[in-house]
Amino acid sequence: MRMALIGLGKMGANMARRMMDNGVEVVGYNRATEIIDELAAEGMLPADSMLHAVQQLPSPRIVWLMIPSGAPTANALQELAPMLEAGDIVIDGGNSNYHDSQQHGAMLARHDIGFIDAGTSGGVWGLKNGYCLMVGGESEVVAQIEPILKALAPAADRGWAHVGPVGAGHFTKMIHNGIEYGMMQAFAEGFALLRGKEEFDLDMAQISELWRHSSVVRSWLLDLMADFLSEDQELADIEPFVADSGEGRWTVVESVDQGVAAPVLALALQMRFSSQDQQGYGNRLLSMMRNAFGGHLVKEKE
Q: Do the beta carbons of residue 45 and residue 100 sit within 8 Å?
A: no
Q: Point out the catalytic residue in the list 79, 180, 254, 299.
A: 180
Annotated active-site residue 180? The verdict is yes
DSSP calls for 91-157: EE-S---HHHHHHHHHHHHTTT-EEEEEEEE-GGGHHHH--EEEEES-HHHHHHTHHHHHHHSSBTT
Q: Which CA distances in Å does 206 have to 32, 223, 236? A: 42, 12, 19
Which residues lie closer than 8 Å to 15 by C-beta, 6 or more apart? 5, 64, 66, 93, 120, 126, 127, 131, 152
Closest alpha carbon to 175 in 89, 264, 112, 115: 264
Annotated active-site residue 247? The verdict is no
In angstroms, how far is CA 168 from the centroid of its own chain? Answer: 15
Closest alpha carbon to 41 in 28, 52, 51, 32: 28
* Rounded Cα distance, 26 and 20, in Å: 7
Q: Point out the catalytic residue in the list 173, 247, 254, 302.
A: 173
> What is the gyration radius of the CA atoms in the chain, in angstroms?
23
Closest alpha carbon to 27 in 61, 2, 1: 2
* Rounded Cα distance, 102 and 98, in Å: 6
In which element (H, E) is residue 64 found? strand 62-65
Closest alpha carbon to 1 in 155, 146, 160: 146
Q: Do the beta carbons of residue 28 and residue 16 sit within 8 Å?
A: yes
Catalytic residue numbers read: 173, 180
